[in-house]
Structure 1
């Protein structure tokens, strides 16, 4: 259950079959071993030793995969950083990581330098940076004797509610990702997996290991573009793609074209997709959306298998894990909302803790912060993030439920719902809405639409019409940014507009 052992076994079994494509570079399973060993040689020549952490600030390029696999071969740890980090956030990640070396693309050098980073800085493309010996001028080094629980990478959480936390991900965790998601998607050696999410995120790195475990081919895509997505997918020859809920909505909002079906894709891992989009997406693009639950700290704890799916449900508990639903620490009956808590029964199935925090004991329960409902048949359904529960005049309101209703209006492209302070204590409900192109959306019309689907107390008082929603690099809405902006002069206020008559019903 180590990355070097996985690479060696893949080379022996698959030889010249293509394991990876990135840009114009195609790498066979056999060549992947050479690239990992060669990068390990180069890193060692640059002073990296067993146990060292090496940071990267690089866009989706093959060099970041080379460095990740090279570090694993050498017994070091890769620390891929979010390329959107700046200022205090970037300084926090660099300081917290303990990295003494960083590989940086030229456009990010200034941002790294502004943090006062005192370690060795390698600029990608320069002669002084570690690199793969593609000319095969000498025999690369043998792998270090790493074990399943050695840390292969430190992945930082998105930090949407505070400073990012560095998650200690062992070798085995990545292999279990490959095994679990591979089984859920029904992957086989003939599959081509296309992922354009950033390689500092567990989704994209997990896709690499799904391909390697299942002997498939991983295609690393460019940054997501809704208008160019299907042409890139078609060009890649993908049979499996990876989307997030926001990306699904963006693709549905694009004009219909021949590209909608000019591809080979049959399924997509698409966590956090609203239930009402499953069937329309399947009808339009011919692709089955597959949900599941996993975080940077965990693995695919909840999921489904081919032929056993339910639109709008996360899935059931996967082999090797346990999950339950609690409220204030006590288990709740089936059908009752509560927090999802999970644990791994597998050695190395979960992360080994956080930077600066003690290693959690084996079999510890992780509180996810997600509110879910488990049915009596064992199927789990996502309700919302606990932090997204809005408390208004004695009632608990699910921001996710309100978003789901508003997003079904034909004039809505994207929506985010969040609490803002109320003059009566507790919260008021506010919605930031991106209208569909060419649609003259009126806030009052949106509320009239919502009245038939929401309790009166859940209807938004405030509505902001925006051109775009602020998103993280991984497609999550930056709700703290929306909350900090709050109510302003341009915000539509239902109370001010006198839109309250039916709320008392």
Structure 2
């Protein structure tokens, strides 16, 4: 490391985080109590900035209370699902805070979901209310008459959420408990449809604590994120700000050309970059404004080790890597500089970890196995998958959460990620279910068989590739397949690479051997969407 390498970004002392934990007894780890208590403590201090909207701590509690009352007046009560299909704007937060305040279950939808993905979420969640931004309404119109739409629909227009519904039977306001489900977050499946992760109220409390500790968040920091608020990361940044007394700045979307300008304008001190975002920023032409910001640290999950030092020397920002999942929490973090750059880091307090074989038995250090996790704090992990008891039992077998990730624990206590146990694909910060993409491909009349798998991306993470075998006598141009899929899949799930096969590699029992395709990777006869200039519709 060079002379201007920063000190390790792990806090030298965790007392400030322990003090926050001690300030909230286990029964107080609900959004309602956290908002009320922090509103009393911080009052008119700026808390939420989103677009042209700014709320103080006191005002945010009022927003949550007000929108909780509106939902209750429409008959939404504890346990009812409120589907929120909205981009990074204040209306998302109004709906989320209002639902969570009264014990209803906020159910954000990935704004790119279409077709069968969206129909599955509707059928699985069974929402009582859909709050949908006007620009996404067409996705529901396209589902047809068989779609299981909720009885109430509130559109989000330029004038805000347009509420409606009977007030004849308002829902009762109940006490909310730390183990009650605050949100259902849909994460892409690997061998089946997307699973709705049931996230308790207290899980978000611990997301705020663990993430703040990993990043060294201090009272008065400004936390800026451009990540989509329907995912865990941007939501838990809100809880970091709430618990630590910080300002939360939610940008409408990630803009490589405008990122540093936004950081300067809001005086951000902490920011969040996942996967390809850091590579995209480094690919921009160097500008004088690259170092005019005051950002002290950033989350750099998934940034290759080779890029971390380059990023620091250009932008002056150390990237903290780590490991987290929607089902668990931010339990591993790796500072910059690190004795093992590119690793997951060491296990933080808050959980036990075991690297196990196929029988859930521990393997020695240096041996690859599946990462199993178990919390030490109540309700700090998800409680299961909504409406999928068999998947819940499978994932939490033997009282351990099975992450599905292959890792190695090194003798020095650092964990290293090897690969995914199954066929999940991580592309541009999004999880892609190979199973869902395959199901969409197989609806095309010309397709006999297909396999979807990851190949390396020049931006880090993965690109989506598919191998297809056509029915006898059929022809299908790769671009025609892409245009067929773009109305049936989220844009980030549409394959970049298409490989036409005369015959698929098969196992003895007739299953496609994806491992062969993955190991072969990008081959010369693969068709590459990027070379055509065609842009997948969003």
TM-score bin (small chain): 0.7 to 0.9
Aligned length: 420
2:73 to 38, 45, 51: 45
CA distance in 1, matches of 2:421, 2:329: 20
Contact 2:72–2:172 under 8 Å retained in 1: no
Residues 56 and 102 in structure 1, CA contact (< 8 A), matched pair in contact too: yes
Q: Provide the C-alpha distance between the structure 2 equivalents of 1:421 and 1:349, rounded to a whole number of angstroms.
A: 40
Which residue does 1:385 correspond to in 2? 420
Equivalences for residues 479-494 of structure 1 within 5 A: 481-482=495-496, 485-487=498-500, 493=523
Q: Is the 8 A contact 2:318 2:336 kept in 1?
A: no
Structure 1 gap ranges (5+): 132-140, 391-398, 424-469, 497-505
1:300-327 C-alpha deviation (Å, 9 max, x unpaired): 1212479877421211111120111122
Deviation at 1:486, TM superposition (A): 2.3
Q: Within 5 Å, give how 1:440-455 maps onto structure 2.
A: none
Out of 162, 177, 183, the position equivalent to 1:129 is 162
User: Equivalent residue for 1:247?
Assistant: 277
Contact 1:185–1:306 (CA under 8 A) maintained in structure 2: no
Instruction: Tell me the TM-score normalised to structure 1 length.
Output: 0.76
CA distance in 2, matches of 1:414, 1:206: 24
Alignment of 1:134-153 (within 5 A): 144-153=174-183
The whole-number CA distance in structure 1 between the counterparts of 2:461 and 2:323 is: 22
Give 1:119 deviation, angstroms. Answer: 2.1
Partner of 2:292: 262
User: Using the alignment, how far apart are the partners of 1:194 and 1:336 within structure 2?
Assistant: 39
Is this contact kept in 1: 2:241–2:248, CA < 8 A? yes
The superposition leaves residues 71-112 of structure 1 with CA deviations (integer Å, 9 ceiling, x where unpaired) of 121111110101111111111101111102111111111212
RMSD: 3.3
Residues 413-424 of structure 1 aligned to structure 2 (within 5 Å): 416=462
SS at match of 2:422: helix
Q: What is the CA–CA distance in structure 2 between the aligned matches of 1:306 and 1:289, rounded to whole Å?
A: 6
The residue matched to 1:311 in structure 2 has which SS? Answer: coil
Change (3 A) 1:492 1:374: closer
Tell me how far apart the structure 1 counterparts of residues 43 and 461 of structure 2 sit (CA, whole Å). Answer: 48
Pair 1:417–1:262, CA change in 2 (3 A): same
- Match in the other structure for 1:467: none
Output aligned runs, 1:277-292, within 5 Å.
Answer: 277-292=307-322
Give the aligned partner of residue 383 of structure 2: 352
Native 8 Å contact 1:271 1:290 kept in 2: yes
What is the DSSP-based 3-state SS (H/G/I as helix, E as strand, rest coil) of the residue aligned with 2:322? coil
Equivalent of residue 234 in structure 2, options 178, 201, 204: 204
How far, CA to CA, are the matches of 1:9 and 1:304 in structure 2?
32
Question: Who is 1:370 aligned against?
Answer: 405
- Counterparts of 1:282 and 1:69, CA distance in 2: 36
Label 1:255 to 1:344 Cα distance change in 2 as closer, same or farther (>3 A).
Answer: same
Show the counterpart of 2:328: 298
In 2, Cα distance between equivalents of 1:66 and 1:362: 37
What CA distance in whole angstroms lies between the structure 1 residues aligned with 2:188 and 2:260? 27
Deviation for aligned residue 1:129: 2.4
**Aligned residue number for residue 117 of structure 2:** 89
Shift of 1:273: 1.2
- CA-to-partner distance for each residue in 1:270-322, whole Å, 9 max, x for gaps? 21111111100011010111111111111112124798774212111111201
Change (3 A) 1:309 1:83: farther
- Call closer, same or farther: CA 1:321–1:495 in 2, change over 3 Å: same
- CA deviations on 1:427-472 (whole Å, 9 max, x unpaired) are xxxxxxxxxxxxxxxxxxxxxxxxxxxxxxxxxxxxxxxxxxx9xx
Separation of aligned partners in 1, 2:336 and 2:523: 47
Cα distance per residue 1:117-158 (max 9 Å; x no partner)? 242111113687249xxxxxxxxx997310000011110003
**Partner of 2:224 in structure 1?**
194
Query: SS of the residue aligned with 1:481?
Result: coil
CA change 1:182–1:414 in 2 (3 A) is closer
SS of 1:322 mapped into structure 2: strand
State the distance in 1 between where 2:216 and 2:252 align.
25
CA–CA distance in structure 2, aligned partners of residues 294 and 43 of structure 1:
32
Unmatched 5+ stretches in structure 2: 1-28, 165-170, 426-452, 470-485, 503-520, 527-538
Q: Counterpart of 1:102?
A: 130
Find the aligned partners of 1:364 and 1:257 in 2 and give their Cα distance.
Answer: 52
Deviations 1:227-268 (A, max 9, x none): 222222222211111111111111111111112112111211
Call closer, same or farther: CA 1:88–1:345 in 2, change over 3 Å: same
Preserved contact between residue 319 and residue 336 of structure 2 (Cα < 8 Å): no
Is the CA contact (8 Å cut-off) linking 1:197 and 1:474 kept in structure 2? no
Measured in 2, the distance between the counterparts of 1:299 and 1:321 equals 9
Check the 8 A contact 2:466/2:495 in 1, yes or no.
Answer: no
**1:258–1:488: structure 2 CA closer, same or farther, 3 Å change rule?**
farther
TM-score if structure 2 supplies the norm length? 0.71
Check if 1:33 corresponds to 2:61. yes
Q: 1:226 aligns with which of 232, 256, 269?
A: 256
Could you tell me how far apart the structure 2 residues matched to 1:176 and 1:61 are?
Answer: 24
The separation in 2 between residues aligned to 1:211 and 1:492, in whole angstroms, is: 43
